[in-house]
A and B are shown apart, each in its own frame.
Chain A
Amino acid sequence: MNFDDLFRGFEELTITGLAQGSVYALVALGYTLVYGVLRLINFAHSEVFMFGTFAAVWIWGVMGFDADSSRPAVWLALLLILVAMVFAALVSGGVAMLVEVSAYRPLRKRNAPPLAFLITAIGASFVLLEFMALPFMSDRRQIGMPPMLPTAPIISVGGWEVNPLQLMTIVVALVMMFSLDWFVNKTKFGRGIRAVAQDANTAALMGVNKSRVILLVFLLGGLMAGVAAVLASMRTGYTRFNIGFFLGIKAFSAAVLGGIGNLRGALLGGLLLGLIENYGAALFGTEWKDAISFLVLVALLMFRPTGLLGESLGRARA
């Protein structure tokens, strides 16, 4: 245990932990939405995220920006990021809907048992992963991201230094999550989602189009993952075909930590996981980072099996 490192780097560890946690939270929403409505763990969601990172590379590439480009002016960078976020969100949303239509819907039509869905999810994940690994796609290579935002701190109060990317990550993630929360709890579509989550058959009797609601849920999860993909890849600085794997596991853990099926739980779980990881790494050495976060997850589930905020989609059951 190295308390010295924890105290010395506390501010930085907190900020980077929150930024990373925001990305976890955004991806966790995809798991949580689908689980809340279908009781299905969509393992292909990590690949939905991965497609978002490549979408960003492609759209920036088309506009003439690659790893060797020089850093663009701030206004241009913001514009480029916005374009990439929209494009990546659309690509990820599209991939998520494609998975639903081609992999899960046929199973639902045949009333397949839950295990069949789980195996299909893993299969769909492999299909997407290996598709991106094909020679005419990424050829298993790592692809660097163009530099975007300046790296110098934008906020500096005492020991607390926040760089533009961290600020953007946290703000964008919060905005996305509150919009989603509002969408699910306040709009007509959201009511449909909550209705299907509560009781799909009764909702259908009340005139809710179940298939369309489920498709919407996959789309929403994909949109969040696409935005997260742009934020995350600006941070890691590169992408490759299997980049979704670890992040998918982390985001899934975050969803479970907060209470899977619960939107606010995903936010809480994501941010907590990001912080735990960083503090744990400082205390025990960076090589223990992942071990610590999973240890905390296991310990928590022993006392609160449904996660911190419990299982439910928003306030659907209230």
Chain B
Amino acid sequence: MRQRFTRVLGGVALVALVAAGAAACKKEETPANSAACDLKIGFFGAITGADAGLVTPIKQGADLAVAQYNEKNPNCKVTVAPFDSQGAPTNASGLAKSAVADTKIVAMIGPAFSGESEVANPIFEEAGLAGITPSATRPSLSSAGLKIFHRGVGNDDAQGPAAARYIKDVIKSTKVFVVDDQSAYGAGLADKVKSTLGTAVIKSTKVTDNQQDFSAVVSDVKTSGADVLFYGGYTEEAAPFLKQLRAGGYTGKFMGGDGINDANMISVPGATTAEGVLATCPCAPATAAKGTFVADFKKAYGNDPGVYADVAYDVANIYLEAIKAGKSSRADILSFLQSYNKAGSASGVTYKWDAKGELAPDQVKVYVFEVKGGAWNPLAEAPRG
């Protein structure tokens, strides 16, 4: 008898729980439909770790846009939900799934790198979570047939050949050594450089992710007699590689893509060693961005905006514009992006995406940056093909 009573009581409690749960769900749904409040924008990239130098300014740009929005809309704030991949594709899958599971996240900035994008984008596609990457430049990302993919910058089909033309036409080198890190981004970029340079490439080799000792490559570079070394990869390996090259007596130029265009490329080898390092970027210099962006950024963070900070700022503002216009679901935001056609307030680039998620080619500029006096300085726009 007593047992039965317990069972009945338990049953009643269970029913009550389910009902309460349903009520709670309902409560959440109703206000979300009327006014898009407490929504989140995801940010996916290497927020910490050795690659964070490149991603930090991007995150800061996005944060700045959201902070400005929240100041103007104090009753209906948007938050940035960070997903710290540390730049590793192996971390991307789990993070992407947890991003997708949080229904408050209606849009995604990133993933910042190409390797992690290859893993995360299909997961976002399944959930219909729109993404704009402010920095992943591997061309094939846009040919995977994903609706959610948008690229806020040019890709390595623009960057690689432009870097090669700079080597050929401006540096006028005919002895180029090409090294890549076998990553989705690095290998792709290096291949573009090699195919554009043709016979000017005297030798090429590969290093690996996390490599620490580059002595074998250093000997190889020195014996080859190259006067320009192009590195396709990220700062994590490029910085110690550069340091070991210089210590080993290599005196030629060191050039890379946007993957080495960050502050760690200067701080890890030291400013003296990094002097003269060149890096391209399929973007205009963030320090020359339009409007009040540069001043606002400096005020918020105390330093000049790094590469892609302006792009991330514009991208975040596109999402905020959508949320302000009452788009509160992932599907709404995705269709908002598909018909978007406006110039960004900071970068000045017209954000209008084609069916693959790429910008119009005439919007893509490739700049060459140089380390001078311990800082990255825009040098010139790379020659157009």
**Residues on A close to B: CB < 8 A?**
5, 8-9, 12-13, 16-17, 19-20, 66-70, 139-144, 146-147, 151-152, 163, 165, 235-238, 240, 242-243, 245-247, 277-278, 281-282, 285-287, 289-290
Contact = CB atoms under 8 A, between A and B. Distances in A.
Nearest to A281: B216
Contacts of B211: 246
A189 B223 CA distance: 49
B118 interface: no
Contacts of B182: 287
A1 B223 CA distance: 17
Contacts of B249: 151-152
B82 interface: no
B127 interface: no
Contacts of A245: 210
A243 B269 CA distance: 16
A11 B239 CA distance: 26
9 contacts: A8-B223, A20-B213, A67-B270, A142-B239, A143-B268, A235-B247, A238-B243, A282-B216, A287-B182
Given A67-B267, A287-B208, A238 B216 contact: no
Nearest to A274: B215
B223 A5 contact: yes
A278 B268 CA distance: 25
Contacts of A165: 247
A25 to B, nearest CB: 15
B50 interface: yes
Interface of B: 48-50, 52, 86, 182, 205-208, 210-213, 215-220, 222-223, 236, 239-240, 243-244, 246-249, 264, 267-273, 374
B240 A289 contact: no
Contacts of B273: 67, 147
A297 to B, nearest CB: 17
A286 B240 contact: no
Contacts of A278: 215-216, 219
Contacts of B219: 9, 12-13, 16, 278, 282
Contacts of B240: 142, 236-238
Q: Tell me which of A140, A144, A151 has the highest count of chain B C-beta atoms within 10 A of its own C-beta.
A: A144
B212 A140 contact: no
Q: Tell me which of B48, B206, B208, B267 has the highest count of chain A C-beta atoms within 10 A of its own C-beta.
A: B267
Nearest to A11: B219
A236 B211 CA distance: 10
A285 B207 CA distance: 10
Contacts of B270: 66-69, 144, 146-147
A140 B206 contact: no
B268 A142 contact: yes
Given A142-B264, A237-B268, A290-B208, 19 more contacts: A8-B223, A12-B223, A20-B213, A68-B270, A141-B49, A141-B264, A142-B50, A143-B268, A144-B270, A147-B273, A235-B213, A235-B244, A236-B243, A243-B212, A245-B210, A246-B212, A277-B216, A278-B215, A278-B216
